[in-house]
Amino acid sequence: MENMDSYTGLDRLLLKILKIPGALMIVPLFLGVMFNTFAPQILDIGSFTTALFKNGLAVLIGLFFLAVGSQISFKTALPSVEKGVVLLLAKFGIAVIFGLSVAFFTPEGMLFGLLPIAIIAAMSNSNGSLYVALTSQFGNKTDKGAISILSINDGPFLTLVALGVAGLAAFPLLALFAAIFPMIFGFILGNSSIIARKFLAPGEKLIIPFAAFAIGAGINLEVLLGQGSVGILLGAATAVISGGTALLALYFWHRVRRHPKSCRNLVAAASEASVAGNAIATPAMVTALDPSYLPIQGAATAQIAAAVVTTAFILPFFVAWLAAWQKRQGITPENEDRFYEEKSIKREHVLKAEVNIKS
């Protein structure tokens, strides 16, 4: 580890900034907003400066999804896959139901100013980094392994599917395929080559701040302060509604699989009740495919940005409380791990016995 004495003033400032929840996405986003509001001419000087910091959003997001896709793997234990599928379907399902209900059954298609595109994008995405951090501290192997499935909700894919199927956006089939192909291509590369997966892994973090700044460069501060403030409500709704649905779904999965009470660990469900920082890019991607969303792109982006920060603050406290409550009930992640290990050993003994009988 490097000596702190060798750090410059900027290094120390960056260390403090990185303590902000979702800092890689939130801080550059706000910087982009400030430049676009008070000094937009700086971003319009042309050449590589304008290409990178203002007009390069589509390229940056495409590269980001290529990197994300390369890290998705289905090579994991069955319980992790099952747990990931249950949480993915629960989170996406409630996001679609809630978002489309607002779109079709509320005046002007909004609820307290919340836009359906922001609701679906926020509630269907989850903060993978926060999930891994929380399950590493409070969960077990299957909780952490579920991220291989949950990574599917990264980016705009599920939101595009929901809006397109519901008829809320016009996405030509070829345009929809073009939007998700970078992630598919990354998935193929990452699962075909360990070298390719390792090479592309840094892209998940490296590209985020540049894409975030470019997104912010398309938003005015007035929109952020006005429409963005209701994003706090969106964050709270995601934690309560999305998180509650995930908890119920995982609990019923434990019951259906007849797991002993001491093994019905719900830490993964609680850790999934967040809004991903990369969900902030979803309105821009939707608008690129359907320009009719352009008038509300800034407002939707601002609402999601506020929801990201809100869930990042709320979730760690809730997961810590849930883990303590479970422990008092005699339910622990360690019990669940032991249950699967014992089950695996029994299965091996049965297979060996069958082989001996056949021989």
Residue 199: per-residue pLDDT: 93
Residue 332: per-residue pLDDT: 82
| Cα-based distances in Å from 110 to 93, 138, 191, 222, 224 | 19, 37, 41, 20, 17
Residues above pLDDT 90, as percent of the chain: 2
Q: Which residue has the higher pLDDT, 257 or 110?
A: 257
Confidence of residue 20 (pLDDT cuts 50, 70, 90): low
| Cα-based distances in Å from 354 to 192, 299, 342 | 34, 63, 19
Q: Which amino acid is at 48?
A: F
- Over the chain, what is the mean pLDDT? 77
Phi, psi (rounded to 5 degrees) for 171: -115, 105
Average pLDDT for 163-192: 70
| Cα-based distances in Å from 98 to 87, 110, 308, 354 | 16, 11, 18, 50
Q: Is 27 helix (H, G, I), strand (E, B) or coil?
A: helix
Average pLDDT for 262-275: 85
Phi, psi (rounded to 5 degrees) for 158: -65, -35
Burial class (CB in 10 A: 0-12, 13-18, 19+), 339: middle
The pLDDT tens digits for 198-234 are 999 888 778 878 877 887 787 667 666 666 678 888 8
The listed range with the strongest mean pLDDT (65-79, 80-94, 201-215, 302-316) is: 80-94
Spatial separation of the C-alpha atoms in residues 25 and 11, rounded to whole Å:
18
